[in-house]
Structure 1
Amino acid sequence: MPTSTKFDQFKDYVRARGWRWKPGATIPYGEQIIVGDAASEVVANFWPKRGALNLQGRESALRAELQAWLDEHAKRGPTTTITGPHLGLDESGKGDWFGPVIVAAVYVDTSQTETALRKIGARDSKQIDSSLVSRLADQIERLIPAEHRRLQALEPGMLWEGADNMNVLLAEAYAQAARPVWRSAQASKIVCDQFSQRADRLDQAFAAAGLPKPLQQHHAESASIAVAAASVLASAAFARALETLGEMAGFGKPLPKGASDIQQLEAAARWIVARQGAQALKRYAKPFKPVMVFV
Protein backbone atom coordinates (compact mmCIF):
# COMPACT_ATOMS: atom_id res chain seq x y z
CA MET A 1 0.00 0.00 0.00
CA PRO A 2 1.51 3.40 -0.94
CA THR A 3 2.80 5.55 1.91
CA SER A 4 0.81 8.70 2.57
CA THR A 5 2.90 11.80 1.91
CA LYS A 6 2.82 15.04 3.86
CA PHE A 7 0.91 16.56 0.94
CA ASP A 8 -1.71 13.78 1.07
CA GLN A 9 -2.19 14.47 4.77
CA PHE A 10 -2.43 18.18 4.05
CA LYS A 11 -5.16 17.59 1.44
CA ASP A 12 -7.03 15.33 3.88
CA TYR A 13 -6.94 18.15 6.45
CA VAL A 14 -8.25 20.64 3.88
CA ARG A 15 -11.15 18.32 3.00
CA ALA A 16 -11.93 17.66 6.67
CA ARG A 17 -12.21 21.40 7.30
CA GLY A 18 -14.66 21.76 4.42
CA TRP A 19 -12.34 23.96 2.35
CA ARG A 20 -12.01 23.49 -1.39
CA TRP A 21 -8.83 22.96 -3.39
CA LYS A 22 -7.92 22.81 -7.05
CA PRO A 23 -4.74 22.22 -9.05
CA GLY A 24 -2.51 25.28 -9.37
CA ALA A 25 0.32 26.16 -11.72
CA THR A 26 2.92 23.67 -12.91
CA ILE A 27 6.09 24.00 -10.83
CA PRO A 28 9.46 22.28 -11.45
CA TYR A 29 9.82 18.97 -9.59
CA GLY A 30 6.73 19.61 -7.51
CA GLU A 31 2.98 20.03 -7.24
CA GLN A 32 0.92 23.13 -6.53
CA ILE A 33 -2.68 23.43 -5.35
CA ILE A 34 -4.85 26.41 -4.47
CA VAL A 35 -6.83 26.12 -1.22
CA GLY A 36 -9.85 28.37 -0.76
CA ASP A 37 -12.64 29.19 1.64
CA ALA A 38 -15.48 31.66 1.28
CA ALA A 39 -13.15 34.63 1.73
CA SER A 40 -9.62 33.91 0.55
CA GLU A 41 -7.22 31.60 -1.30
CA VAL A 42 -3.80 30.23 -0.38
CA VAL A 43 -1.26 28.61 -2.71
CA ALA A 44 0.42 25.44 -1.41
CA ASN A 45 3.59 24.10 -3.05
CA PHE A 46 4.98 20.61 -2.42
CA TRP A 47 8.31 19.12 -3.53
CA PRO A 48 8.15 15.36 -2.88
CA LYS A 49 11.87 14.66 -3.19
CA ARG A 50 12.64 17.07 -0.35
CA GLY A 51 9.35 16.57 1.46
CA ALA A 52 9.05 20.37 1.53
CA LEU A 53 5.65 22.06 1.75
CA ASN A 54 5.16 25.82 1.88
CA LEU A 55 2.38 28.38 1.56
CA GLN A 56 2.05 31.57 -0.47
CA GLY A 57 -0.53 34.32 -0.39
CA ARG A 58 -1.76 37.29 1.57
CA GLU A 59 -2.07 37.00 5.35
CA SER A 60 -5.54 35.71 6.17
CA ALA A 61 -7.40 33.57 8.68
CA LEU A 62 -7.23 30.65 6.24
CA ARG A 63 -3.48 30.97 5.77
CA ALA A 64 -2.96 31.24 9.54
CA GLU A 65 -4.86 27.99 10.11
CA LEU A 66 -3.02 26.18 7.32
CA GLN A 67 0.32 27.41 8.66
CA ALA A 68 -0.63 26.24 12.16
CA TRP A 69 -1.24 22.77 10.72
CA LEU A 70 2.14 22.81 8.97
CA ASP A 71 3.90 23.92 12.13
CA GLU A 72 2.18 21.20 14.15
CA HIS A 73 3.07 18.51 11.61
CA ALA A 74 6.55 19.72 10.74
CA LYS A 75 9.08 16.94 10.45
CA ARG A 76 10.90 16.76 13.75
CA GLY A 77 14.61 16.30 14.01
CA PRO A 78 16.21 14.82 17.13
CA THR A 79 14.54 16.32 20.18
CA THR A 80 16.97 18.47 22.14
CA THR A 81 15.87 19.76 25.50
CA ILE A 82 17.08 23.30 26.10
CA THR A 83 18.59 23.57 29.55
CA GLY A 84 20.39 26.23 31.53
CA PRO A 85 19.34 29.86 31.95
CA HIS A 86 17.52 31.16 28.88
CA LEU A 87 14.74 33.48 27.73
CA GLY A 88 11.73 32.00 25.94
CA LEU A 89 9.12 33.71 23.75
CA ASP A 90 5.73 32.72 22.37
CA GLU A 91 2.58 34.44 21.08
CA SER A 92 -1.18 34.02 21.15
CA GLY A 93 -3.93 35.40 18.92
CA LYS A 94 -2.10 35.59 15.59
CA GLY A 95 -4.70 33.65 13.63
CA ASP A 96 -7.79 34.85 15.52
CA TRP A 97 -10.21 37.34 13.95
CA PHE A 98 -10.61 39.34 17.13
CA GLY A 99 -8.22 40.72 19.68
CA PRO A 100 -4.55 41.66 19.71
CA VAL A 101 -1.56 39.43 19.16
CA ILE A 102 0.05 38.93 22.56
CA VAL A 103 3.76 38.13 22.80
CA ALA A 104 5.13 36.88 26.11
CA ALA A 105 8.77 36.68 27.21
CA VAL A 106 9.86 34.57 30.20
CA TYR A 107 13.37 34.11 31.61
CA VAL A 108 14.13 30.91 33.53
CA ASP A 109 17.25 31.39 35.59
CA THR A 110 17.92 28.16 37.51
CA SER A 111 17.21 24.44 37.45
CA GLN A 112 15.18 24.97 40.63
CA THR A 113 12.87 27.37 38.79
CA GLU A 114 12.61 24.94 35.89
CA THR A 115 11.69 22.12 38.27
CA ALA A 116 9.10 24.30 39.99
CA LEU A 117 7.52 25.24 36.64
CA ARG A 118 7.28 21.60 35.62
CA LYS A 119 5.81 20.70 38.99
CA ILE A 120 2.87 23.11 38.55
CA GLY A 121 2.25 21.73 35.05
CA ALA A 122 3.72 24.45 32.83
CA ARG A 123 3.64 23.23 29.23
CA ASP A 124 2.43 24.29 25.80
CA SER A 125 -0.86 26.13 26.36
CA LYS A 126 -2.45 24.26 23.44
CA GLN A 127 -2.26 21.12 25.59
CA ILE A 128 -4.10 22.74 28.51
CA ASP A 129 -7.85 23.05 28.94
CA SER A 130 -8.78 26.69 28.37
CA SER A 131 -10.52 26.84 31.75
CA LEU A 132 -7.20 26.11 33.49
CA VAL A 133 -4.90 28.49 31.61
CA SER A 134 -5.64 31.56 33.73
CA ARG A 135 -4.94 29.77 37.01
CA LEU A 136 -1.70 28.29 35.67
CA ALA A 137 -0.63 31.74 34.44
CA ASP A 138 -1.15 33.10 37.97
CA GLN A 139 1.08 30.34 39.35
CA ILE A 140 3.78 31.09 36.78
CA GLU A 141 3.68 34.79 37.67
CA ARG A 142 4.23 33.90 41.33
CA LEU A 143 7.31 31.85 40.40
CA ILE A 144 8.87 34.23 37.87
CA PRO A 145 9.90 37.71 39.12
CA ALA A 146 8.19 40.61 37.36
CA GLU A 147 11.46 41.80 35.83
CA HIS A 148 11.95 38.36 34.25
CA ARG A 149 8.66 38.30 32.34
CA ARG A 150 6.99 40.64 29.89
CA LEU A 151 3.82 40.89 27.82
CA GLN A 152 3.71 42.90 24.59
CA ALA A 153 0.44 43.52 22.76
CA LEU A 154 0.15 44.17 19.04
CA GLU A 155 -3.27 45.80 18.87
CA PRO A 156 -5.65 45.36 15.90
CA GLY A 157 -5.44 49.06 15.01
CA MET A 158 -1.67 48.77 14.57
CA LEU A 159 -2.17 45.79 12.28
CA TRP A 160 -4.59 47.75 10.08
CA GLU A 161 -1.96 50.47 9.68
CA GLY A 162 0.61 47.90 8.55
CA ALA A 163 -1.68 45.24 7.06
CA ASP A 164 0.85 44.27 4.37
CA ASN A 165 3.61 43.64 6.91
CA MET A 166 1.98 41.66 9.71
CA ASN A 167 4.97 39.38 10.24
CA VAL A 168 7.34 42.36 10.30
CA LEU A 169 5.21 43.99 13.01
CA LEU A 170 5.08 40.72 14.92
CA ALA A 171 8.86 40.36 14.73
CA GLU A 172 9.20 43.84 16.21
CA ALA A 173 6.73 42.91 18.97
CA TYR A 174 8.88 39.87 19.79
CA ALA A 175 11.94 42.10 20.08
CA GLN A 176 10.05 44.62 22.23
CA ALA A 177 8.94 41.86 24.59
CA ALA A 178 12.40 40.31 24.80
CA ARG A 179 14.49 43.46 25.26
CA PRO A 180 13.58 44.51 28.85
CA VAL A 181 13.78 40.93 30.12
CA TRP A 182 17.09 40.36 28.34
CA ARG A 183 18.54 43.55 29.83
CA SER A 184 17.33 42.70 33.32
CA ALA A 185 18.45 39.08 33.26
CA GLN A 186 21.53 39.47 31.02
CA ALA A 187 20.29 36.39 29.18
CA SER A 188 22.83 34.85 26.83
CA LYS A 189 20.31 32.60 25.08
CA ILE A 190 16.90 33.47 23.56
CA VAL A 191 14.60 30.72 22.28
CA CYS A 192 11.31 30.82 20.37
CA ASP A 193 9.18 28.77 18.01
CA GLN A 194 10.03 28.86 14.31
CA PHE A 195 8.92 32.31 13.14
CA SER A 196 6.78 32.13 9.98
CA GLN A 197 8.53 31.09 6.75
CA ARG A 198 10.94 34.03 6.95
CA ALA A 199 13.16 33.37 9.94
CA ASP A 200 15.34 36.29 8.87
CA ARG A 201 12.58 38.76 9.81
CA LEU A 202 12.97 37.89 13.47
CA ASP A 203 16.76 37.93 13.21
CA GLN A 204 16.63 41.43 11.70
CA ALA A 205 14.23 42.76 14.34
CA PHE A 206 16.42 41.41 17.14
CA ALA A 207 19.58 42.83 15.59
CA ALA A 208 17.90 46.25 15.25
CA ALA A 209 16.99 46.11 18.95
CA GLY A 210 20.55 45.19 19.95
CA LEU A 211 19.54 41.66 20.94
CA PRO A 212 21.42 38.41 20.28
CA LYS A 213 20.18 36.21 17.46
CA PRO A 214 17.34 34.00 18.74
CA LEU A 215 17.34 30.23 18.43
CA GLN A 216 14.27 29.40 16.33
CA GLN A 217 12.98 25.85 16.17
CA HIS A 218 9.74 23.98 15.57
CA HIS A 219 7.91 22.86 18.72
CA ALA A 220 10.16 25.01 20.92
CA GLU A 221 7.53 24.85 23.67
CA SER A 222 8.29 21.11 23.98
CA ALA A 223 12.03 21.69 24.26
CA SER A 224 12.06 24.82 26.44
CA ILE A 225 10.21 25.31 29.72
CA ALA A 226 10.65 29.08 29.26
CA VAL A 227 8.83 28.99 25.91
CA ALA A 228 6.13 26.77 27.44
CA ALA A 229 5.63 29.24 30.30
CA ALA A 230 5.52 32.12 27.81
CA SER A 231 2.83 30.33 25.81
CA VAL A 232 0.66 30.08 28.94
CA LEU A 233 1.11 33.76 29.85
CA ALA A 234 0.35 34.84 26.28
CA SER A 235 -2.79 32.68 26.09
CA ALA A 236 -4.10 33.95 29.41
CA ALA A 237 -3.49 37.57 28.41
CA PHE A 238 -5.20 37.02 25.06
CA ALA A 239 -8.27 35.56 26.77
CA ARG A 240 -8.39 38.61 29.07
CA ALA A 241 -8.14 40.90 26.05
CA LEU A 242 -11.15 39.23 24.41
CA GLU A 243 -13.11 39.71 27.64
CA THR A 244 -12.20 43.40 27.76
CA LEU A 245 -13.06 43.92 24.09
CA GLY A 246 -16.37 42.13 24.60
CA GLU A 247 -17.19 44.61 27.38
CA MET A 248 -16.13 47.57 25.21
CA ALA A 249 -18.41 46.33 22.44
CA GLY A 250 -21.33 45.78 24.81
CA PHE A 251 -21.38 42.21 23.54
CA GLY A 252 -22.29 40.68 26.88
CA LYS A 253 -19.50 38.09 26.73
CA PRO A 254 -15.93 37.77 25.42
CA LEU A 255 -15.46 38.23 21.69
CA PRO A 256 -15.12 34.81 20.00
CA LYS A 257 -11.78 33.10 19.60
CA GLY A 258 -10.41 31.55 16.45
CA ALA A 259 -11.17 31.94 12.77
CA SER A 260 -13.22 28.88 11.83
CA ASP A 261 -16.69 29.45 13.34
CA ILE A 262 -17.69 31.92 10.65
CA GLN A 263 -21.30 32.28 11.81
CA GLN A 264 -20.28 33.24 15.34
CA LEU A 265 -17.48 35.53 14.16
CA GLU A 266 -19.65 37.35 11.64
CA ALA A 267 -22.38 37.82 14.25
CA ALA A 268 -19.88 39.55 16.56
CA ALA A 269 -18.60 41.73 13.71
CA ARG A 270 -22.14 42.77 12.75
CA TRP A 271 -22.91 43.60 16.39
CA ILE A 272 -19.95 45.97 16.58
CA VAL A 273 -20.64 47.61 13.22
CA ALA A 274 -24.34 48.11 14.03
CA ARG A 275 -23.58 49.84 17.33
CA GLN A 276 -20.27 51.63 16.77
CA GLY A 277 -19.86 51.89 13.01
CA ALA A 278 -17.74 50.08 10.45
CA GLN A 279 -14.50 51.91 11.24
CA ALA A 280 -14.80 50.95 14.90
CA LEU A 281 -14.34 47.31 13.92
CA LYS A 282 -10.65 48.07 13.36
CA ARG A 283 -10.26 48.46 17.13
CA TYR A 284 -11.50 44.93 17.66
CA ALA A 285 -10.58 42.76 14.66
CA LYS A 286 -7.50 42.09 12.56
CA PRO A 287 -7.27 43.03 8.86
CA PHE A 288 -8.09 39.59 7.51
CA LYS A 289 -9.96 39.46 4.22
CA PRO A 290 -13.24 38.15 5.76
CA VAL A 291 -13.19 41.08 8.21
CA MET A 292 -12.55 43.68 5.51
CA VAL A 293 -16.00 43.15 3.96
CA PHE A 294 -17.51 44.77 7.08
CA VAL A 295 -15.32 47.89 6.94
Structure 2
Amino acid sequence: MGQTVIKADQQTLDKMDKHYENTKVKKQPPHTVFVAKQTNVTITAYQSGKVLFQGGHHAEEASKWDTNPQTQKKQHNVESHSKAILNQDHIGSDEAGTGDYFGPITVAAVYADERQQALLKELGVKDSKSMNDSTISSIVKNILETDIIYSTVTLNNEKYNQLKKQNWSQTRMKAWMHHNAIEHVMNKLDQITPSGIVIDQFCEPGIYYNKIKASDATPHSNITFLTKAESQSTCVAAASMLARYRFVQEMDRLSKKAGFTLQKGASQKVDQQIKRLMDSKGEAFLSQIGKVHFGNTQKAKKL
Protein backbone atom coordinates (compact mmCIF):
# COMPACT_ATOMS: atom_id res chain seq x y z
CA MET A 1 0.00 0.00 0.00
CA GLY A 2 1.46 3.36 -1.05
CA GLN A 3 1.80 6.24 1.35
CA THR A 4 2.71 9.94 1.55
CA VAL A 5 3.79 11.84 4.65
CA ILE A 6 3.60 15.63 4.99
CA LYS A 7 4.36 18.09 7.78
CA ALA A 8 1.43 20.38 8.60
CA ASP A 9 1.35 23.50 10.78
CA GLN A 10 -1.38 24.00 13.40
CA GLN A 11 -3.54 26.12 11.10
CA THR A 12 -3.49 23.40 8.43
CA LEU A 13 -4.19 20.69 11.02
CA ASP A 14 -7.24 22.65 12.22
CA LYS A 15 -8.50 22.95 8.64
CA MET A 16 -7.97 19.23 8.04
CA ASP A 17 -9.69 18.34 11.30
CA LYS A 18 -12.79 20.23 10.14
CA HIS A 19 -12.58 19.01 6.52
CA TYR A 20 -12.52 15.30 7.48
CA GLU A 21 -15.13 15.62 10.23
CA ASN A 22 -17.67 13.33 8.54
CA THR A 23 -15.19 10.54 7.77
CA LYS A 24 -13.38 10.27 11.11
CA VAL A 25 -13.16 6.90 12.86
CA LYS A 26 -13.91 6.63 16.56
CA LYS A 27 -10.90 4.53 17.52
CA GLN A 28 -7.67 6.53 17.39
CA PRO A 29 -4.07 5.48 18.11
CA PRO A 30 -2.17 7.40 20.83
CA HIS A 31 -0.80 10.86 19.98
CA THR A 32 -3.09 11.38 17.02
CA VAL A 33 -5.38 14.33 16.30
CA PHE A 34 -7.71 12.26 14.14
CA VAL A 35 -7.97 9.28 11.79
CA ALA A 36 -10.25 9.57 8.77
CA LYS A 37 -11.13 6.93 6.19
CA GLN A 38 -12.27 7.83 2.69
CA THR A 39 -12.57 5.77 -0.47
CA ASN A 40 -9.05 4.58 -1.36
CA VAL A 41 -7.26 6.68 1.28
CA THR A 42 -6.81 6.74 5.06
CA ILE A 43 -5.56 9.94 6.72
CA THR A 44 -3.83 9.85 10.11
CA ALA A 45 -2.90 13.21 11.65
CA TYR A 46 -0.45 13.20 14.59
CA GLN A 47 -0.06 15.80 17.31
CA SER A 48 3.51 16.36 16.11
CA GLY A 49 2.12 17.80 12.86
CA LYS A 50 2.98 14.75 10.78
CA VAL A 51 0.11 13.57 8.58
CA LEU A 52 0.16 10.12 6.97
CA PHE A 53 -1.86 9.36 3.83
CA GLN A 54 -2.22 5.68 2.90
CA GLY A 55 -4.05 3.96 0.04
CA GLY A 56 -4.57 4.20 -3.69
CA HIS A 57 -5.14 7.98 -3.72
CA HIS A 58 -2.48 8.88 -1.13
CA ALA A 59 -0.45 11.26 -3.31
CA GLU A 60 -3.48 13.08 -4.74
CA GLU A 61 -5.05 13.62 -1.30
CA ALA A 62 -1.75 14.74 0.25
CA SER A 63 -1.18 17.30 -2.51
CA LYS A 64 -4.25 19.21 -1.28
CA TRP A 65 -2.53 20.02 2.02
CA ASP A 66 1.22 20.04 1.40
CA THR A 67 2.43 23.59 2.17
CA ASN A 68 6.06 22.61 2.79
CA PRO A 69 8.31 25.49 1.61
CA GLN A 70 10.67 23.01 -0.06
CA THR A 71 7.78 21.61 -2.08
CA GLN A 72 6.67 25.09 -3.08
CA LYS A 73 10.24 25.95 -4.05
CA LYS A 74 10.44 22.81 -6.19
CA GLN A 75 7.17 23.71 -7.89
CA HIS A 76 8.43 27.21 -8.64
CA ASN A 77 11.60 25.83 -10.17
CA VAL A 78 9.62 23.47 -12.39
CA GLU A 79 7.35 26.32 -13.49
CA SER A 80 10.18 28.69 -14.34
CA HIS A 81 11.95 26.63 -17.01
CA SER A 82 13.58 28.81 -19.65
CA LYS A 83 11.19 29.95 -22.35
CA ALA A 84 13.99 29.35 -24.84
CA ILE A 85 12.31 25.98 -25.39
CA LEU A 86 9.58 27.81 -27.34
CA ASN A 87 12.03 28.44 -30.18
CA GLN A 88 13.25 24.85 -30.26
CA ASP A 89 11.70 21.52 -31.19
CA HIS A 90 9.30 20.47 -28.44
CA ILE A 91 6.05 18.73 -27.55
CA GLY A 92 3.04 20.88 -26.66
CA SER A 93 -0.23 19.69 -25.14
CA ASP A 94 -3.62 21.22 -24.38
CA GLU A 95 -7.20 20.09 -23.71
CA ALA A 96 -10.80 20.92 -24.60
CA GLY A 97 -14.25 20.15 -23.22
CA THR A 98 -13.51 20.52 -19.51
CA GLY A 99 -16.16 23.20 -18.91
CA ASP A 100 -18.81 21.72 -21.20
CA TYR A 101 -21.63 19.67 -19.71
CA PHE A 102 -22.18 17.67 -22.89
CA GLY A 103 -19.30 15.92 -24.62
CA PRO A 104 -16.00 14.40 -23.48
CA ILE A 105 -12.69 15.87 -22.41
CA THR A 106 -10.17 15.71 -25.24
CA VAL A 107 -6.41 16.23 -25.01
CA ALA A 108 -3.94 16.59 -27.85
CA ALA A 109 -0.13 16.60 -27.90
CA VAL A 110 1.94 17.82 -30.87
CA TYR A 111 5.65 17.55 -31.62
CA ALA A 112 7.16 19.94 -34.17
CA ASP A 113 10.70 21.09 -34.91
CA GLU A 114 11.58 24.65 -35.99
CA ARG A 115 10.78 23.98 -39.67
CA GLN A 116 7.44 22.40 -38.85
CA GLN A 117 6.50 25.21 -36.47
CA ALA A 118 7.11 27.75 -39.23
CA LEU A 119 4.82 25.72 -41.50
CA LEU A 120 2.12 25.53 -38.83
CA LYS A 121 2.19 29.31 -38.50
CA GLU A 122 1.78 29.65 -42.27
CA LEU A 123 -1.29 27.41 -42.05
CA GLY A 124 -2.83 29.80 -39.54
CA VAL A 125 -2.02 28.03 -36.28
CA LYS A 126 -2.24 30.50 -33.39
CA ASP A 127 -4.22 31.12 -30.21
CA SER A 128 -7.55 29.50 -31.13
CA LYS A 129 -9.71 31.40 -28.63
CA SER A 130 -10.43 34.05 -31.25
CA MET A 131 -11.47 31.45 -33.86
CA ASN A 132 -14.81 29.76 -34.41
CA ASP A 133 -15.10 26.00 -34.73
CA SER A 134 -15.49 26.15 -38.51
CA THR A 135 -12.17 28.00 -38.91
CA ILE A 136 -10.42 25.63 -36.51
CA SER A 137 -11.76 22.63 -38.45
CA SER A 138 -10.47 24.03 -41.74
CA ILE A 139 -6.98 24.67 -40.35
CA VAL A 140 -6.79 21.31 -38.57
CA LYS A 141 -7.55 19.45 -41.79
CA ASN A 142 -4.47 21.12 -43.27
CA ILE A 143 -2.42 20.35 -40.15
CA LEU A 144 -3.23 16.67 -40.52
CA GLU A 145 -1.68 16.67 -43.99
CA THR A 146 1.71 17.83 -42.64
CA ASP A 147 4.44 15.59 -41.24
CA ILE A 148 4.03 16.66 -37.61
CA ILE A 149 3.75 13.94 -34.99
CA TYR A 150 0.67 14.14 -32.78
CA SER A 151 -1.69 12.19 -30.56
CA THR A 152 -5.21 12.79 -29.27
CA VAL A 153 -6.80 11.21 -26.21
CA THR A 154 -10.56 11.25 -25.57
CA LEU A 155 -12.23 10.49 -22.23
CA ASN A 156 -15.78 9.44 -23.08
CA ASN A 157 -18.58 10.52 -20.77
CA GLU A 158 -19.39 7.09 -19.38
CA LYS A 159 -15.77 6.59 -18.28
CA TYR A 160 -15.61 10.16 -16.98
CA ASN A 161 -18.65 9.59 -14.76
CA GLN A 162 -17.25 6.27 -13.53
CA LEU A 163 -13.98 7.96 -12.51
CA LYS A 164 -15.90 10.68 -10.68
CA LYS A 165 -17.66 7.98 -8.65
CA GLN A 166 -14.17 6.67 -7.78
CA ASN A 167 -13.31 10.15 -6.43
CA TRP A 168 -11.10 11.17 -9.34
CA SER A 169 -10.98 14.94 -9.63
CA GLN A 170 -11.16 16.52 -13.06
CA THR A 171 -7.60 17.74 -12.48
CA ARG A 172 -6.41 14.17 -12.04
CA MET A 173 -8.21 13.10 -15.20
CA LYS A 174 -6.64 15.92 -17.21
CA ALA A 175 -3.17 15.19 -15.82
CA TRP A 176 -3.51 11.52 -16.74
CA MET A 177 -4.72 12.39 -20.25
CA HIS A 178 -1.90 14.88 -20.87
CA HIS A 179 0.60 12.30 -19.64
CA ASN A 180 -0.74 9.65 -22.01
CA ALA A 181 -1.00 11.95 -25.03
CA ILE A 182 2.62 13.01 -24.50
CA GLU A 183 3.64 9.38 -23.98
CA HIS A 184 2.04 8.39 -27.29
CA VAL A 185 3.95 11.14 -29.11
CA MET A 186 7.21 10.15 -27.43
CA ASN A 187 6.70 6.57 -28.60
CA LYS A 188 6.23 7.76 -32.19
CA LEU A 189 9.42 9.85 -32.17
CA ASP A 190 11.68 6.80 -32.47
CA GLN A 191 15.27 8.14 -32.30
CA ILE A 192 14.30 11.80 -31.75
CA THR A 193 14.63 13.29 -28.26
CA PRO A 194 12.59 16.51 -28.00
CA SER A 195 14.25 19.52 -26.39
CA GLY A 196 11.38 19.69 -23.93
CA ILE A 197 7.65 19.57 -23.24
CA VAL A 198 5.26 22.50 -22.78
CA ILE A 199 1.89 22.02 -21.08
CA ASP A 200 -0.82 24.68 -20.93
CA GLN A 201 -0.92 24.96 -17.14
CA PHE A 202 -4.18 23.91 -15.48
CA CYS A 203 -2.76 23.25 -11.98
CA GLU A 204 0.43 23.77 -9.98
CA PRO A 205 3.33 21.68 -11.36
CA GLY A 206 3.76 19.78 -8.09
CA ILE A 207 0.09 18.80 -8.08
CA TYR A 208 0.40 17.59 -11.69
CA TYR A 209 3.35 15.36 -10.79
CA ASN A 210 1.57 14.02 -7.68
CA LYS A 211 -1.50 13.06 -9.70
CA ILE A 212 0.60 11.17 -12.25
CA LYS A 213 2.42 9.36 -9.44
CA ALA A 214 -0.93 8.58 -7.78
CA SER A 215 -1.77 6.52 -10.86
CA ASP A 216 1.49 4.56 -10.47
CA ALA A 217 3.11 6.17 -13.52
CA THR A 218 6.41 8.00 -13.92
CA PRO A 219 5.98 11.64 -14.97
CA HIS A 220 7.92 12.91 -17.95
CA SER A 221 10.89 15.16 -17.25
CA ASN A 222 11.83 18.56 -18.67
CA ILE A 223 8.25 19.90 -18.60
CA THR A 224 7.58 23.63 -18.76
CA PHE A 225 4.17 24.71 -17.42
CA LEU A 226 2.90 27.98 -18.91
CA THR A 227 -0.38 29.84 -18.47
CA LYS A 228 -1.88 30.88 -21.82
CA ALA A 229 0.69 28.59 -23.44
CA GLU A 230 -1.17 28.45 -26.75
CA SER A 231 -0.35 32.14 -27.29
CA GLN A 232 3.36 31.41 -26.74
CA SER A 233 4.01 27.93 -28.14
CA THR A 234 3.08 26.99 -31.70
CA CYS A 235 3.03 23.32 -30.65
CA VAL A 236 0.56 24.02 -27.84
CA ALA A 237 -1.55 26.16 -30.19
CA ALA A 238 -1.70 23.28 -32.67
CA ALA A 239 -2.55 20.87 -29.85
CA SER A 240 -5.32 23.18 -28.66
CA MET A 241 -6.85 23.25 -32.14
CA LEU A 242 -6.59 19.45 -32.51
CA ALA A 243 -8.21 18.92 -29.10
CA ARG A 244 -11.05 21.29 -30.00
CA TYR A 245 -11.50 19.61 -33.39
CA ARG A 246 -11.84 16.18 -31.72
CA PHE A 247 -14.24 17.62 -29.13
CA VAL A 248 -16.49 19.08 -31.84
CA GLN A 249 -16.43 15.79 -33.73
CA GLU A 250 -17.59 13.99 -30.58
CA MET A 251 -20.28 16.60 -29.96
CA ASP A 252 -21.62 16.01 -33.47
CA ARG A 253 -21.69 12.27 -32.84
CA LEU A 254 -23.44 12.67 -29.48
CA SER A 255 -25.94 15.13 -30.97
CA LYS A 256 -27.03 12.42 -33.41
CA LYS A 257 -27.40 10.08 -30.45
CA ALA A 258 -29.49 12.64 -28.58
CA GLY A 259 -31.64 13.44 -31.62
CA PHE A 260 -30.87 17.19 -31.71
CA THR A 261 -27.88 19.56 -31.67
CA LEU A 262 -26.38 19.62 -28.19
CA GLN A 263 -25.43 23.00 -26.76
CA LYS A 264 -21.77 23.59 -25.86
CA GLY A 265 -20.85 25.09 -22.49
CA ALA A 266 -22.94 24.94 -19.31
CA SER A 267 -25.60 27.63 -19.74
CA GLN A 268 -29.33 27.73 -19.01
CA LYS A 269 -29.89 26.41 -22.54
CA VAL A 270 -27.96 23.32 -21.45
CA ASP A 271 -30.27 22.96 -18.43
CA GLN A 272 -33.27 22.99 -20.77
CA GLN A 273 -31.71 20.36 -23.03
CA ILE A 274 -30.95 18.14 -20.03
CA LYS A 275 -34.59 18.39 -18.96
CA ARG A 276 -35.68 17.52 -22.49
CA LEU A 277 -33.44 14.44 -22.50
CA MET A 278 -34.57 13.28 -19.06
CA ASP A 279 -38.19 13.51 -20.17
CA SER A 280 -37.63 11.73 -23.50
CA LYS A 281 -34.82 9.24 -22.83
CA GLY A 282 -34.55 8.95 -19.05
CA GLU A 283 -31.97 10.21 -16.59
CA ALA A 284 -29.60 7.25 -17.12
CA PHE A 285 -29.07 8.36 -20.72
CA LEU A 286 -27.27 11.49 -19.50
CA SER A 287 -24.28 9.49 -18.28
CA GLN A 288 -23.60 8.52 -21.91
CA ILE A 289 -23.38 12.10 -23.19
CA GLY A 290 -22.73 14.45 -20.24
CA LYS A 291 -20.76 15.19 -17.09
CA VAL A 292 -23.57 14.45 -14.68
CA HIS A 293 -21.87 15.85 -11.56
CA PHE A 294 -22.14 19.38 -13.00
CA GLY A 295 -24.71 21.57 -11.24
CA ASN A 296 -26.73 21.68 -14.46
CA THR A 297 -28.17 18.25 -13.69
CA GLN A 298 -29.84 19.42 -10.48
CA LYS A 299 -30.94 22.70 -12.08
CA ALA A 300 -32.63 20.73 -14.88
CA LYS A 301 -34.53 18.60 -12.37
CA LYS A 302 -36.07 21.75 -10.93
CA LEU A 303 -37.35 23.02 -14.28
Judged with a 3 Å threshold, the aligned counterparts in structure 2 of structure 1 residues 212 and 292 are, in CA distance, closer, same or farther, namely: farther
| Aligned residue type for 1:193 | D
The 1:122/1:210 distance shift into structure 2, 3 A limit, reads same
> What is the aligned residue count?
213
2:208 is matched with 202
| Offset, 1:268 | 1.7
Question: Pick from 108, 111, 114: which aligns with 1:107?
Answer: 111
Matched, 1:281 2:286: yes
Q: Paired residue for 2:128, among 106, 125, 128?
A: 125
Q: Which amino acid aligns with 1:183?
A: N
The aligned residue for residue 291 of structure 1 is: 297
Amino acid at match of 1:178: I
- 1:191 maps to 198
- Aligned counterpart in structure 2 of residue 214 of structure 1, from 219, 223, 232: 223
Partners in 1 of 2:145 and 2:132 — Cα distance? 20
1:75-133 CA-to-partner distances (Å, cap 9, x unmatched) read xxx9867111100000011011110010001001x221111101111012212122211
In the other structure, the counterpart of 1:136 is 139
> Equivalent residue for 1:9?
none
1:88–1:226: 8 Å Cα contact kept in structure 2? yes
- Tell me if structure 1 keeps the 8 A contact 2:200–2:230: yes
The equivalent residue for 1:228 is: 237
Distance 1:271 1:89 in 2: 36
SS of equivalent to 2:99: coil
CA gap of 1:294–1:106, structure 2 versus 1, over 3 A, is: same
| CA distance in structure 1 between the partners assigned to 2:227 and 2:150 by the alignment | 22
Higher mean C-alpha displacement, 184-193 vs 280-289: 184-193
Q: CA deviation at 1:247?
A: 0.2
Q: CA deviation at 1:214?
A: 2.1
Which runs of structure 2 are paired with 1:245-260 in the superposition (5 Å)? 245-251=254-260, 253=261, 255-259=262-266
Displacement, 1:188?
4.0
Q: 2:246 — aligned with what?
A: 237
> Does the CA-based 8 Å contact 1:175-1:209 persist in structure 2?
no
Q: Structure 2 matches for 1:3-42, cutoff 5 A?
A: none
**Which segment is superposed worse, 206-215 or 168-177?**
206-215
**For residues 85 and 129 of structure 2, what CA distance do their matches in structure 1 show?**
19
What amino acid sits opposite 2:240 in the alignment?
S
- Give SS of 1:175's match: helix
SS in 2 for 1:103: strand
CA contact (8 A) 2:99 2:265 kept: yes
